[in-house]
Amino acid sequence: MADKNVETTGLLGWVDNRFPLTKMFKEHMSEYYAPKNFNFWYFFGSLALLVLVIQVVTGIFLVMNYKPDARFAFESVEYIMREVPGGWFIRYMHSTGASMFFVVVYLHMLRGLFYGSYRKPRELVWIFGVAIFLCLMGEAFFGYLLPWGQMSYWGAQVIVNLFSAIPFIGPDLSLFIRGDYVVSDATLNRFFAFHVIAIPLVLIGLVVAHIIALHEVGSNNPDGVEIKKGPKDKYGRPMDGIPFHPYYSVHDVVGVAGFLIVFAAIIFFGPEMGGYFLEYNNFIPADPLKTPPHIAPVWYFTPFYTMLRATTSDFTWVMAAGALLAAVVLFAKGRLSGIWRLAVPGILILVAILMKVLDAKFWGVVSMGGAVVILFFLPWLDQSPVKSIRYRPNWHKVLYAIFIVDFLILGWLGTQPVSPSATLMGQIGTVIYLAFFLAMPVWSRLGTFKPVPDRVTFRAH
């Protein structure tokens, strides 16, 4: 047993002889050295883990009383709210937790965007993170139908019907997802199985992989300096790092306390948040014969829903022109080499042609899905010589600000009824969103960059 390097006795020693508990705690907590200049942006990773636990625990208690049956689903939710002791509290924790999960994850991803946390050697950490984001979107979508209210029913009807826009396989695919020709009891059971079993298992596995990959390469920091390459003490520990435990475990308690205060305030004083967290139409039982006047998804889907609605037949001309322009720029600039110099522009030209051949509804689905999928390629789209926004030109910061405002406007537009002005604003916002990433290989290299320090900059606070 000497190879396990067991240093403990008693019950802990007995466990360590059979399971590497102390070894794992040292590797991932007490002897994991993180940069000493973390700021408040680094609260959101641990907060995301906290909300995941809240969602799993409250979900277990909800399932104890929920019936995945189209005849009784809405009544079972009302039973939880009115008859089960503490049921209203558990239900509101779960519904508020869903929205707060996306708040935390969006801010966590924004921090990664600011500080270049997706750059080498953390590409896989970022890819796992975006995969987690996709799973969260799927989990939220499947759970959205379960209350079997008006907005749940018709929201699921609209989203599932989008798959029918896919050429050749679309109608059969949407039929397979629904399990019927309309959203029905079969759909509810399928969504329940995905929401409660399938996606949570994948999600937990991705979270574990995300953390392991992060601890393998080390955490990034606001300066974008690799502390593992910096000076080390006589024990080989980074001099610009401190042990995660107890320093950052205690540091995160502050963030957790602040988060729980906000979380509790929402649950007790405004769980519907004006209809953004829980839509008022969802307190009405699902009626397949009565369509709500305005169907819109929950707020965290609305930016992408706006992109879907903005893609009209006229707008495909703009998208086709953009694809052709990108093909010309890539070929003329010669940034690609070998077969890729011809292949990538050729694909873009083919896409431009297909935009006028295939239905605009299909390209709406593509733009909506592409807005998320493009995040996977961010480590290679960003060609900046520095990681952190701190050392980039000031006009780069303006571009980041425009992107953030654009995303918020897209989100707001998704909650509004369809109108010509809203559609035009959505089209402009979609162009800005996609151009931010697609043009990143060009603009991220431009400008005068500030010198990056050899060591992290840190001031005690």
pLDDT tens digits for 94-110? 999 999 999 999 999 99
Strand pairing partners for 243? 33
pLDDT at 394: 94
pLDDT digits (tens, 9 = 90+) for 217-274: 999 999 999 998 888 888 888 999 999 999 999 999 999 999 999 999 999 999 999 8
pLDDT of residue 2: 41
DSSP 325-382: HHHHHHHHHT-S-TTHHHHHHHHHHHHHHHTTTS-HHHHHHHHHHHHHHGGGGHHHH-
Residues in the annotated binding site for a ubiquinone = 215
Which has the higher per-residue pLDDT, 7 or 207?
A: 207
The rounded Cα 101 to chain-centroid distance in angstroms is: 9
319, pLDDT greater than 90: no
Is residue 345 pLDDT above 70, yes or no? Answer: yes
Q: What structural domains and CATH numbers belong to the chain?
A: 22-283 (1.20.810.10), 299-443 (1.20.810.10)
More confident call, 338 vs 301: 301
CA distance 380 to 437: 10
Element (H, E) at 241: strand 241-243
- The structure tokens 């393998």 sit at 216
Residues forming the annotated binding site for heme b?
94, 108, 195, 210
Please report the pLDDT score of residue 333 as a whole number: 65
Mean pLDDT along residues 418-424: 91
- Confidence category of residue 74, pLDDT binned at 50, 70, 90: very high
Binding positions are: 94, 108, 195, 210, 215
Q: Given this model, what pLDDT does residue 186 score?
A: 93
Burial status of residue 333 (CB atoms within 10 A of its CB: 0-12, 13-18, 19 or more): exposed
pLDDT, mean over the chain:
90
Q: What is the pLDDT of residue 87?
A: 96
pLDDT at 392: 95
Mean of pLDDT values over 331-348 = 70
Question: What is the per-residue pLDDT for 195?
Answer: 96
246: cis peptide before it, omega within 30°? yes
pLDDT score recorded for residue 335 = 61
| Predicted local distance difference test score (pLDDT) of residue 3 | 47
What does the pLDDT read at residue 78? 95
In whole angstroms, what is the distance from residue 104 CA to residue 110 CA? 10
